[in-house]
Amino acid sequence: MPSSNLVHATGSNAMVMTGRKLKILEHRVHKVETRQKENDETEEELIVSNLRPFLLKVGVHDHLDNPILDCSLPLRAALLYENGLPVKQTSSSEPLVVGETDVVALQGAATFKLRITSLSSHRDKQRFRIQVAPQEVDLMQAEPALCVVSDPMKSVTKLGRASAPPLPPLLPPPLLPPLLSPLLPLVPPSSPLPSPLLSPLLLLHHRRPCSCSSSSS
């Protein structure tokens, strides 16, 4: 009996030491909005369009949260409601999730490029999650930690655009006093205005002596 207990403890510790788990490394959505909950608290709401794909990257880690680089693990993405229940297929022939739903994790990570075809407005305004788990059901049952779900997302058709803030009003240019205008020179009232006829050339020509009288004599 003691030997049996010792073997059981050793096996349990070995299972913990070599246990694997999935971890979400990256989740890119199309839009993030601020949502007010029923208790008047605010939270960020992830929004995706059913017309565009989004990205979800998961990693395979050990019990110390270190990536396991030397593994090849086939994974599959499925659609869940926010409460964790599976989403049932409607009469539409299009799958609930399209894109790269089956991906093999290599060097410790797998990247899914997915598109949710169902809309939250058609599902009682419920939000969706993506569940990533092994393709083999037996492996998923043997290692429950190899299953991870994303944050909830709202699926819409049109994302909409945020309205731009209004521009500040334009101020009129300052008015200059008439006497301080830079286009008009300031001339004292007592100074005579320069005459346009008294140019240097005209004055020089006017002062030149006349040689008519000397030539006639």
* Each residue's pLDDT tens digit, 28-81: 999 999 888 788 888 899 999 999 999 999 999 999 999 999 989 999 999 999
Q: Show Cβ contacts of residue 29 under 8 Å, excluding neighbours closer than 6 positions.
A: 46, 47, 48, 54, 153
CA 77 – CA 103 distance, rounded (Å): 8
Residue 148 has a pLDDT of 98
Diameter of the chain measured on Cα atoms = 161
Residue 79 has a pLDDT of 97
Average per-residue pLDDT for the chain: 79
More confident residue, 196 or 129: 129
**Span 149-177, pLDDT tens digits:** 999 999 999 887 654 455 565 666 666 66
More confident residue, 166 or 202: 166
Q: Classify 9 as helix, strand or coil.
A: helix
**Span 106-124, pLDDT tens digits:** 999 999 999 999 999 999 9
pLDDT of residue 5 exceeding 50, the answer is: no
CA 100 – CA 132 distance, rounded (Å): 12
Residue 172 has a pLDDT of 65
More confident residue, 187 or 152: 152
pLDDT of residue 209 exceeding 50, the answer is: yes
Residue 38 has a pLDDT of 80
Domains and CATH numbers, the chain: 18-156 (2.60.40)
Phi-psi region of 9 (alpha: psi -120 to 50; beta: other; left: phi over 0): alpha
Bridge partners for 114 per DSSP: 54, 99
Percent of residues, the chain, with pLDDT higher than 70: 65
How do the residues of the chain divide into helix, strand and coil, expressed in percent and rounded to 5?
20, 35, 50
Q: Show Cβ contacts of residue 68 under 8 Å, excluding neighbours closer than 6 positions.
A: 20, 60, 61, 62, 108
Query: Where do runs of H (alpha helix) occur along 72-207?
Result: 137-142, 200-207
The answer to which of 5-14, 44-53, 84-93 has the lowest mean pLDDT is: 5-14
Residue 190 has a pLDDT of 58
Residue 1 has a pLDDT of 40
pLDDT of residue 3 exceeding 50, the answer is: no
Q: Which residue, among 84, 90, 207, 209, has the nearest Cα to 152 in the 3D structure?
A: 84
Residue 168 has a pLDDT of 61
Residue 157 has a pLDDT of 92
